[in-house]
Homo-oligomer: A and B are copies of this chain.
Amino acid sequence: MALGIQHFILGLLANQSMSGYDVKRLFGRFRWLIGPSSFGNIYPALHALLDEGLVTMDVIAGSDRPPRKVYHINERGLEALEEWDREPAGSDTSLKTFVMRLLLSGNLDRRELIAYLEQRRAEVVAQRSELEVLTDRACDEDLGRRLALDYGLALSGKEIDWLEQTLEELGTRVVYSEVV
């Protein structure tokens, strides 16, 4: 299951009602981090959510632009989302999954968010030290491997910095009024 597109889109709708086109636009903005997307999976996912009764849909006719189908999450959708979030979260430590979850983190309260970021930090630190070990004995490795290793060290270091800075900000001052 591991954060399928249906789950992800439902999470997006929990923040804000959107059309399929809006979802695609959002994907596009983060495509560098989460990879390509297409209407071929977005629209079917939206239809499936409708069929399962987790969202409702309004057709909004624009004056000069094509009519948009805006989807809203409902009570049952919110319940389904919470159920999904309660699941073990799997062992997918990939950057892509992290960013997707980060995009949905508005649905978390501050304590949960902090716990999530701390868990992530531990994972990235572990991953990074694995790369460090490889670097120490990489003299014989080919150029491609060395470059990928170096790249991984650079980015993982930056991510750890970012996590620590963000955690500090979340800890010291109230970023978001505690509504939950």
Q: How many copies does the complex hold?
A: 2
A76 within 8 A of B: no
Q: With A104-B144, A144-B104 given, is the CB distance from A32 to B94 under 8 Å? A: yes
Tell me if A36 and B94 are in contact (CB < 8 A). Answer: yes
List residues of A (64-110) whose CB comes within 8 Å of B's CBs: 91-97, 99, 102-107
Tell me if B93 and A32 are in contact (CB < 8 A). Answer: yes
List residues of A (6-51) whose CB comes within 8 Å of B's CBs: 15-16, 29-36
Q: Show 10 A/B contacts (Cβ-Cβ < 8 Å), sorted by A.
A: A16-B142, A31-B93, A32-B93, A33-B155, A36-B94, A102-B148, A105-B143, A106-B142, A155-B162, A158-B158
Chain B residue, CB-CB nearest to A133 = B29
Q: With A93-B32, A144-B107 given, is the CB distance from A151 to B102 under 8 Å? A: yes
Q: With A131-B29, A158-B154, A159-B155 given, is the CB distance from A36 to B92 under 8 Å? A: yes
A98 to chain B, nearest CB (A): 8
